[in-house]
Amino acid sequence: MNLELVFLILRNSDLNIWNRVKLLYVLKRYKKNEPIMVFMFGLPGAGKSTFVKKLEIFFFNVFGKEMDQLDPDLYFPSDYDKKNPDKYFDLTRAELDNKFKETILYGRWAIFQTGGSLLVPRGIKMVEAMGAGYYIFSILIDVKPEIARQRNEARDRTVEPEKFEECVQDLPRTFRSLKHLGAGSIKIKNN
């Protein structure tokens, strides 16, 4: 990594200094002109979307690149029926897969958000991105389940309690399994 890039990362004030140092760690092997794809993990209500906004500003200020948002919440159907949650998940996965393929096709930079219960599909996406020449790394937004549960219940697009509990159980295993793909991973505390 060149010194100019190190300076830009450390000087950027959109993230606190500790998070900038952590980003330096995962970007240490970055080569100019490689597209970047960040895989965000965290419980529903952990603060992934909030952190992504800061990360978008950071990447624009440091690299001059806009990031595609590969966030399931962006594809939340307007006719969502809580009695039929599978309809939401099926539609969301299809839309997200199409957006992922388009992002890879055009070599755009992206942030891919995910919860904890999708180990195999996210692993496949990470391998696909690496195969397409992307520089990838993972970020876990680490928050206590009680806090994430409260935040989840306070928002419009809540995740059902059973699904939330599934994420609480699966997230540590998912992140542990995938964190070594690409350039590595970092944890961001958000309690």
Mean pLDDT of 60-73: 84
Domain spanning 34-189: CATH 3.40.1380.20: no
Q: Would you call 178 exposed, middle or buried from its count of C-beta atoms within 10 A (0-12, 13-18, 19+)?
A: buried
The pLDDT-based confidence of 175 (bands split at 50, 70, 90) is confident
134-157 pLDDT, tens digit per residue, is 999 888 888 999 999 999 888 876
pLDDT tens digit sequence for 88-140: 666 677 788 888 999 999 999 999 887 655 656 778 888 999 999 999 988 88
pTM: 0.82
Phi-psi region of 161 (alpha: psi -120 to 50; beta: other; left: phi over 0): alpha
* pLDDT score for 134: 93
Task: State the amino acid at position 86 in one-letter form.
Answer: D
Q: What average pLDDT does the structure give for the chain?
A: 81
The percent of residues above 90 in pLDDT, for the chain, comes to: 17
User: Is 2 or 151 the better-scoring residue by pLDDT?
Assistant: 151
